[in-house]
Structure 1
Amino acid sequence: MSFNRDIKIDPNRVSTRSGGRRGAFIGGGSVLTVVALMLVSQLTGIDLTGLLGAQQDTTQVSTSSTIDTSVCTDGVSANEYTQCRMIATAESLDAVWGAQLPAQAGQAYRQPQFVLWDGSSVSSACGNASSAVGPFYCSGDESVYLDMSFFTDMERTLGAQDTPLAEEYIVAHEFGHHVQHLTGSMAAADRSGAGATSDSVRLELQADCYAGVWVSHAATTPDPDTGQPFLVTPTSAEIQTAINAAESVGDDHIQQRSSGPVDSDSWTHGSSQQRVRWFTTGMEQGTVSACDTFAVSPDRL
């Protein structure tokens, strides 16, 4: 998916951090760490609870971030550089949800913080997270965190193509969790359980649907500075790469790639089929109401 060349983007929309060398999580499992492990959105679907017993490495190497956002000023840079594409995607998501959330749900939208990071770990209000966690949303500081190495890992370990729209789908999914935080569905969900029809899965599928809602409106929502739509209308081939990304982060797909049995009782994010269906629902219908995964019966999820 290409951004219109004439749009203007603000490099200050994101913050950048470089994670130092430290233990992935605090040894012994503090309450904050448990909350982070259990509740943080993990597009990778990896179970990290085994890290709770790991010893903490308190050694930290402080380095400057290698992520250069100074070149990110317009649609040309967004089409050329991944970090600029992240900024443009965030600004497009802000514009879409800034218009659609009040209009459709009567809920005011406020922008989440967006942190791009490189290194071994990052600190958030939900605890310290290693790069193994993948992109996540923390409601404690209303921030989306994205490790810039994730897209390479996504292609290598999950088998998804690293294409612009696939990357943008992942960001849109995490912003979908912020929308859930704003509307209250995140707080209302019981995220202590697992399984194909659990609230954890319903929450993730709703975020997929919200990502689809963004795609539905992205090519017609203008950049407030120039009046130009943020995005060129995606081609069917580009949409397919986003669908492939949704398939790749399905719990069953991840279990199969790890050579383990497919166990739906352990799912926390949903199957490939479920994730594609709800992303497509949001994209085709473009409405918040179409994304009420908590209202559908188990056989329709």
Structure 2
Amino acid sequence: MKYRDNAQLDASQMGSARGGGRGRGGKVALGGGAGLVVLILALLFGLNPDDLLGASGPQAESDQAPASQASTYEQCKTGADIARDRDCRFVAYTNSIQSYWAQAYVGYRKIQVIPFTGQVSTACGTATSAVGPFYCPGDTTVYLDTAFFDQLTSQLGAQGGDAAEAYVFAHEFGHHIQNLTGVMGKVQSQGAGQTGPKSGGVRLELQADCYAGVWLKHAANDPQSPIAEVTRDDLRRAVDAAAAVGDDRIQKRMQGQVRPESWTHGSAEQRQKWLMQGFNSGDPNTCDTFASGAL
């Protein structure tokens, strides 16, 4: 993934873990980077990931986006800073994704990404690094476990790279779009125990994958975007990451057998398919994983 050196970065979209806990409750939306411990427990024992997180209360959106806070990303001013400080790439991903959705979704309001290590307090409850990156609808915030990308390559076998990381970011923002459209609330209101290849939970995750693909298609189109080019290799790495976090791939790696009835995020094939659906179409309207016959 190539960056525009002269593109301006907005570090105010990155918050501090001290900002967690605002809002009025909700369930954690496990995303493309659902943490290893939580996801493996769910897959091995048929548990609902939300039940492992201590999240409770009705799903709700905060009245306003979290206030900007001082963060470790204040030094990230332009795309050129990414070469000097690799952490600035997180700002670039966030800025590009939100810039796209601001013009693609009427009424979109920019939110924050809050990096954390160990554990973090959110409106969806206290989450540990076992959760990995996730979106909390209660405070409309994406929480970034900064150690996850090492797990993605070392434990899940993904090739990694910036495009793979950006896919995970974009997936979490896909959950934010689902929160805005009301789709997330409808699925979560159906309660726990939604597992299986065609379950509501899996459809939710695959739609977020599709939204990630849509953004990837448009990431370099805006001349103001910090993303200058998405290459064929970038797309290959993003698709590879989507496959690596497929339920069947994780089950096979961790327990040596596949149990589709316990899937919570979709198979490697499903995740690749819907990521490519979004990329090939470039249109979020083609991401209706809830349509009859979609799965």
Bin of the TM-score, shorter chain as denominator length: 0.7 to 0.9
- The equivalent residue for 1:27 is none
**Partners in 1 of 2:121 and 2:86 — Cα distance?**
22
Partner of 2:134: 136
**What is the DSSP-based 3-state SS (H/G/I as helix, E as strand, rest coil) of the residue aligned with 1:258?**
helix
The offset of 1:80, in angstroms, is: 4.9
Query: For residue 104 of structure 2, what is the aligned residue in structure 1?
Result: 100
| Alignment partner of 1:240 out of 236, 242, 254 | 236
- The CA RMSD measured in Å over matched residues stands at 2.4
Alpha-carbon distance, 1:18 to partner:
7.8
C-alpha change, 1:181 and 1:79, in structure 2 (3 Å) is farther
Find out whether 1:116 has 2:115 as its counterpart: yes
Q: Distance in 2 between matches of 1:289 and 1:259?
A: 37
Aligned pair partner of 1:270 in 266, 272, 276: 266
Superimposed CA distance per residue, residues 185-240 of structure 1 (whole angstroms, 9 cap, x where no aligned partner): 111224531100000000000000000010111111242xxxxx432221111110
Distance 1:180 1:219, change over 3 A: same
Shift of residue 94, structure 1, vs aligned partner: 1.3
Q: Distance in 2 between matches of 1:50 and 1:185?
A: 19
Specify whether residues 233 and 296 from structure 1 end up closer, same or farther in structure 2 by C-alpha distance, changes over 3 A only: farther
Shift of 1:53: 8.9
Matching of residue 87 in structure 1 with residue 76 in structure 2: no
SS in 2 for 1:15: coil
1: CA distance, partners of 2:234 / 2:83? 14
Structure 1 consecutive aligned stretches of length 4 or more whose deviation exceeds 4 Å: 48-54
In the superposition, the TM-score normalised over structure 1's length comes to 0.80
Where does 1:200-219 land on structure 2 (aligned, <5 Å)? 200-219=201-220
For residue 34 of structure 2, the aligned residue among 39, 43, 65 is: 43
- Paired position in structure 2 for 1:69: 73
- Contact 1:134 1:146 (8 Å CA) reproduced: yes
Q: How does 1:124-203 map to 2 (within 5 A)?
A: 124-189=122-187, 190=190, 192=192, 193-203=194-204
Structure 1 pair 242/81, CA: closer, same or farther in 2 (3 Å)?
Answer: farther
Counterpart secondary structure, 1:145 = strand
Determine the C-alpha separation between the residues in 1 that align with 2:6 and 2:90.
17
Aligned match of 1:29: none
* Distance change in 2, residues 1:231/1:16 (3 Å): same
Residue of structure 1 equivalent to 2:64: none
Contact persistence 1:46–1:133 (CA under 8 A): no
Alignment match, 1:6:
6
Any conservation in 2 of the 1:121–1:128 contact (CA below 8 Å)?
A: yes
* Count of equivalent residues: 261
Q: Distance in 2 between matches of 1:123 and 1:208?
A: 26
SS of structure 2 residue aligned to 1:146: strand
Residue type of the alignment partner of 1:112:
I
**Aligned AA (1:43):** A
* Structure showing greater relative contact order (alpha-carbon pairs closer than 8 Å, 6 or more residues apart): 2
TM-score (ref. length: structure 2)? 0.82
CA shift in 2, pair 1:80/1:274, >3 Å: farther
Q: Take 1:277 and 1:288, find their aligned partners in 2: how far apart are those partners? A: 14
Is there any run of 5+ residues in structure 1 with no aligned partner, and where?
20-31, 55-66, 103-107, 224-228
Answer yes or no: is 1:258 the counterpart of 2:254.
Answer: yes
Q: Secondary structure of 1:47's match?
A: helix
8 Å contact from structure 1 (residues 191, 199) kept in 2: no
Q: In the alignment, is the contact (CA less than 8 A) between 2:133 and 2:148 conserved in 1?
A: yes
Give the direction of change, closer, same or farther, for the CA distance of 1:295–1:69 in structure 2 (3 Å limit).
same
Residue 249 to residue 79, structure 1, CA distance change in 2 (3 Å): farther
Question: How many Å separate the matches in 1 of 2:182 and 2:265?
Answer: 19
Over the matched positions of the two proteins, sequence identity in percent amounts to 40
Change (3 A) 1:156 1:270: same
SS at match of 2:89: helix
Equivalent pair of 2:8/2:226 in contact (CA under 8 Å): no
* 1:179 match: secondary structure: helix
Q: What amino acid does structure 2 have at the position aligned with 1:76?
A: A
Q: Distance in 1 between matches of 2:208 and 2:84?
A: 27
- Which residue is equivalent to 2:56? none
